Chain A
Amino acid sequence: GQQLNQSPQSMFIQEGEDVSMNCTSSSIFNTWLWYKQDPGEGPVLLIALYKAGELTSNGRLTAQFGITRKDSFLNISASIPSDVGIYFCAGHRGAQKLVFGQGTRLTINP
């Protein structure tokens, strides 16, 4: 099935640092979603993007819908320990199923 290329696969940072991750595809998407998953739990929706070029914030999180509609990025500012987890991007095209990236595992050293 179609996949999104998410990078990096893992990140090891110090508390307080900013984080940036992105998701790319060879196909155009109408919607980009960003989720966070804690160990042993289901993913939780963080941000939804619906328009090319759209920049949306949710607290310390900021995400953008790429102008080409083939990519999206997520930034986390001033990371804290509870930001640890796996972040997934997901793309959607009309009535087709939601497609997920492979995830970015974030580890924070206190």
Chain B
Amino acid sequence: DGGITQSPKYLFRKEGQNVTLSCEQNLNHDAMYWYRQDPGQGLRLIYYSQIVNDFQKGDIAEGYSVSREKKESFPLTVTSAQKNPTAFYLCASSWDSMNTEAFFGQGTRLTVV
């Protein structure tokens, strides 16, 4: 089945450690996105990529890094520089940045202790 897979569903890390969240899609979509969601809040864009080997910062990129070495994959690294990393992280993809129907993965809940 085609779709977007985020892993793991739940992730626990100690403060000061970097952690990488996985996002894989087999929809042949060019564009991929990472959003952060805090309790009771909307979605805020962290990074997005319109094509392989290219990505742009979103509204809250500080403390995060991404790579887009393959079309199917867009991993997000939460670095120790992110002051409040505990949140629900959502990955999405769309055919391209002009085609707006974005489809989301199941999300990863990151808890930093």
Chain A positions near chain B (C-beta within 8 angstroms): 1, 3, 6, 30-31, 33, 35, 40-45, 48, 88, 90, 92, 94-95, 97-98, 100-103, 105
The answer to whether B45 touches A97, judged by C-beta atoms less than 8 angstroms apart, is: yes
How many A-B contacts at CB < 8 Å in the complex?
Answer: 62
Provide the residues of chain B in CB contact with A94, threshold 8 Å: 98
Q: Which residues of A contact B98 (CB under 8 A)?
A: 94-95
- Give, as a whole number of angstroms, the nearest-CB distance from B12 to chain A: 16
Which residues of A have CB within 8 Å of B35?
A: 100
If A1-B58, A1-B59 touch, whether A102 touches B107 (CB-CB below 8 Å) is no
Report the Cα distance A100→B46, complex, angstroms: 13
| Cross-interface CB contact of A88 among B43, B45, B48, B59, cutoff 8 Å | B43
Query: Nearest B residue to A96 by beta-carbon distance?
Result: B97
Q: Which of B93-108 contact A (CB under 8 A)?
A: 97-98, 100-107
Asked if B68 is at the interface of the complex by the 8 Å CB criterion, the answer is no
Residues of B that sit less than 8 Å from A by CB: 4, 6, 33, 35, 40-45, 48, 50, 58-59, 88, 90, 92, 97-98, 100-107, 109
Closest to A105 in B: B40
Tell me whether B44 and A1 are in contact (CB under 8 A). Answer: yes
